[in-house]
Structure 1
Amino acid sequence: MSEATTPRGLTPNARGALWMLGSAVGFAGMTVLIKFLGDDYPPALQTFYRQAAGFAVLLPIILHHRGAAFATTRPGLLLFRSGAGTIGMMLSFYAFQEMPLADANALSFTRNLWLVPLAAFVVREQVGALRIGAAVVGFVGVLVMIRPGAGGEFALGLPALAMLAASFLFALTITGMKVMTRDHSPTVLLVWGATLGLVLAIPGAFLTWRWPEPLDLGLLCLMGVMGTITQACYIKGMQLGDAAAMAPIDYTRLIFSAAAGYLLFSEIPTIWTLIGAVIIVASTLFITIREQQLARSARLLAAAEVQR
Structure 2
Amino acid sequence: MAVAASSVARPRLSGNVRGALWMLASAVTFTAMTTLIKYLGADYSAALQTFYRQAAGLLVLAPVIIRHRSAAFATTRPGILIFRASAGTIGMIASFYAYQKMPLADANALSFTRTLWMVPLAALILRERIGPPRIAAAVVGFAGVLLMVRPGAGGQFAMGVPALAMLAASFLFTFTVIGMKVMTRDHAPMVLLVWSAVLGAIFAIPGAVLDWRWPSLRDLGLLAAMGAIATLNQWCYIKGMQEGDAAAMAPLDYTRLVFAAAAGFLLFHELPGAWTMAGAAVVVAATAFITWREHVMNLRAAQAARAF
1:127 is the counterpart of 2:142 = no
Residue type at the aligned position of 1:41: Y
Counterpart residue type for residue 51 of structure 1:
Q
Q: Deviations 1:223-243 (Å, cap 9, x if unpaired)? A: 111111101111111111111
Paired residues, number: 297
* Correspondence list, 1:1-308, <5 A: 9-147=12-150, 154-305=157-308
CA contact (8 A) 1:14 1:241 kept: yes
What CA deviation, in whole Å up to 9, does each residue of 1:185-227 have, x standing for no partner? 1111111111111111111111111111111111011011111
Which amino acid letter does the alignment assign opposite residue 34 of structure 1? I
Deviation at 1:124, TM superposition (A): 0.3
Q: Percent identical across equivalent pairs?
A: 67
TM-score (norm 2): 0.94
The 1-side partners of 2:148 and 2:123 are apart by 27
**What secondary structure is seen at the aligned counterpart in 1 of 2:47?**
helix
Relative to structure 1, the CA distance from residue 76 to residue 88 in structure 2 (aligned partners, 3 Å threshold; closer, same or farther) is: same
CA 1:80–1:7: 2 relative to 1, 3 Å: farther
Amino acid across the alignment from 1:103: D
Q: What runs of 5+ residues in structure 2 fail to find an aligned partner?
A: 1-8
Task: Please provide the CA RMSD for this pair.
Answer: 1.3
Q: What's the offset of the Cα at 1:75?
A: 0.6
Q: Gapped runs of 5+ residues in structure 1?
A: 1-5
Runs of 4+ in 1 over 4 A off after TM superposition: none
- Change beyond 3 A, Cα 1:157–1:246: same
Q: 1:8 to 1:166 in 2, by over 3 A?
A: farther
**1:60-114 residue CA offsets vs partner (Å, 9 max, x unmatched):** 1111111101000011110000000000000000000000000000000000000
Equivalent pair of 2:50/2:204 in contact (CA under 8 Å): yes
Over 3 Å counting, the alpha-carbon distance change for 1:269 and 1:57 in structure 2 is same
Q: 1:156 offset after TM fit, Å? A: 4.4
Q: Deviations over 1:9-39 (max 9, x none)?
A: 1111111111111110000001110000000
* 2:6 match: none
Query: What TM-score, normalized to structure 1?
Result: 0.94
SS in 1 for 2:212: coil
